[in-house]
Amino acid sequence: MTDLTTTTYLGLHLRSPLVASAGPLTGNPAMWERLEAAGAAAIVLPSLFEEEIEQEAFARSFAIEHGADVYGEALSYLPDLPMPDVGPAHHLTLVEQARERLSIPVIASLNGTSPGGWVRYARHLADAGANAIELNVYDIVVDPAMSSAEVEERYVELVEAVRAEVDVPIAVKLGPWFSALGNLAVRLQAAGADGLVLFNRLYQPDIDLDTLEVVPRLALSTSAETRLPLHWIANLYGNVDCSLAATSGVHDGADALKLLLAGADVVMTTSSLLKHGPEHLAVVERFIREWMEERDYESVGELRGSVSRRNVADPQVYERQNYYQVLHSWVPERPR
Ligand SMILES: Cc1cc2nc3c(=O)[nH]c(=O)nc-3n(C[C@H](O)[C@H](O)[C@H](O)COP(=O)(O)O)c2cc1C
Structural domains in the chain (count): 1
pLDDT of residue 64 exceeding 70 = no
Compute CA distances 256 → 78, 89, 174, 268, 293, whole Å.
41, 35, 19, 8, 16
Per-residue pLDDT at 66: 47
Per-residue pLDDT at 276: 97
With cut-offs at 50, 70 and 90, classify the pLDDT of residue 286: very high
- Write the pLDDT tens digit of every residue in 245-282: 999 999 999 999 999 999 999 999 999 999 999 999 99
Quote the distance between the C-alpha of residue 142 and its chain's center: 22
Per-residue pLDDT at 204: 80
Per-residue pLDDT at 328: 78
Looking at the domain assignment, is residue 126 inside a domain?
yes
Picking from 109, 106, 123, 134, the residue whose alpha carbon sits closest to that of residue 12 is: 106
DSSP secondary structure string for all residues of 170-233: EEEEE-S--TTHHHHHHHHHHHT-SEEEE-PPP---EEETTTTEEE---PPP-GGGGHHHHHHH
d(CA 238, CA 240): 6
Q: Tell whether pTM > 0.95.
A: no
pLDDT of residue 78 exceeding 90 = no
Q: With the CA atoms of 116, 118, 120 and 124 taken in that order, what torsion angle do they form, in degrees rounded to the nearest 10?
A: 170
- CA 71 – ligand 1 centroid, Å: 31
Looking at the domain assignment, is residue 336 inside a domain?
no
Looking at the domain assignment, is residue 329 inside a domain?
no
Looking at the domain assignment, is residue 241 inside a domain?
yes
* Averaged pLDDT of the chain: 88
| Ligand 1 within 6 A of CB of 46 | yes
> Which protein residue has the closest C-alpha to ligand 1 atom 27?
271
Counting from 1 in the atom list of ligand 1, the atom nearest the Cα of 251 is: 26
Task: Tell me the CATH number at 115.
Answer: 3.20.20.70
Domain of 124?
A: 7-311
| Ligand 1 within 6 A of CB of 229 | no
With cut-offs at 50, 70 and 90, classify the pLDDT of residue 50: confident
Q: Is 328 helix (H, G, I), strand (E, B) or coil?
A: coil
Looking at the domain assignment, is residue 189 inside a domain?
yes
| Residues whose CB falls within 8 Å of the CB of residue 304, separated by 6 or more in sequence, listed in order | 260, 261, 263, 264, 265
- Write the pLDDT tens digit of every residue in 172-200: 999 998 999 999 999 999 999 999 999 99
Per-residue pLDDT at 332: 77
Looking at the domain assignment, is residue 322 inside a domain?
no
pLDDT above 70: percentage of residues in the chain = 88
Burial of 80 (C-beta count, 10 Å sphere; 0-12/13-18/19+): exposed
